[in-house]
Amino acid sequence: MRDTELTYLGHATFTIKSHTGKRILIDPWVQGNPAVPQSLKRIPSLDYVLITHGHYDHIGDAVEIAATHPSAVFVCNFETSVWLGAKGVAEANLIGMNKGGTIELDGIKVTMVHADHSCGILDEGKIVYGGDPCGYVVAFDNGLTLYHAGDTNVFSDMALIHELYRPEVALLPIGGHYTMGPREAAKACEFLQAPTVVAMHHHTFPVLTGSPEELESLAAGRWRILGPRPGDRL
Ligand code: NI
Ligand code: MN
Q: Residue 124, Cβ neighbours under 10 Å: how many?
A: 5
Whole-number average pLDDT of the chain: 97
Q: What's the pLDDT at 90?
A: 98
| Ligand having the closest approach to the CA of 175 | 2
Nearest to 186 by CA among 220, 145, 147, 229: 220
N- to C-terminal Cα distance for the chain?
Answer: 8
Q: What's the pLDDT at 2?
A: 81
Ligand 1 centroid to 151 CA: how many Å?
5
Ligand 1 centroid to 14 CA: how many Å?
15
Ligand 1 centroid to 175 CA: how many Å?
12
CA separation for the pair 229, 200 (Å, rounded): 9
Q: What's the pLDDT at 203?
A: 97
User: With contact defined as beta carbons under 8 Å apart, do 208 and 202 qualify?
Assistant: yes
Nearest to 161 by CA among 221, 224, 100: 100
| Ligand having the closest approach to the CA of 53 | 1
CA separation for the pair 129, 80 (Å, rounded): 8
Q: What's the pLDDT at 189?
A: 98
The domain segmentation of the chain, as residue ranges, is 5-226
Bridge partners of 78, per DSSP, are none
Residues of the chain with pLDDT under 50: none
Sign, CA dihedral 66-8-100-109, equals positive
At the second CATH level, the architecture of 5-226 is 4-Layer Sandwich (3.60)
Q: What's the pLDDT at 16?
A: 98
Ligand 2 centroid to 23 CA: how many Å?
22
Nearest to 186 by CA among 150, 161, 211: 211
Ligand 2 centroid to 165 CA: how many Å?
24
User: With contact defined as beta carbons under 8 Å apart, do 75 and 48 qualify?
Assistant: yes
What tens digit of pLDDT does each residue of 21-55 get? Answer: 999 999 999 999 999 999 999 998 999 999 999 99
Bridge partners of 49, per DSSP, are 25, 74
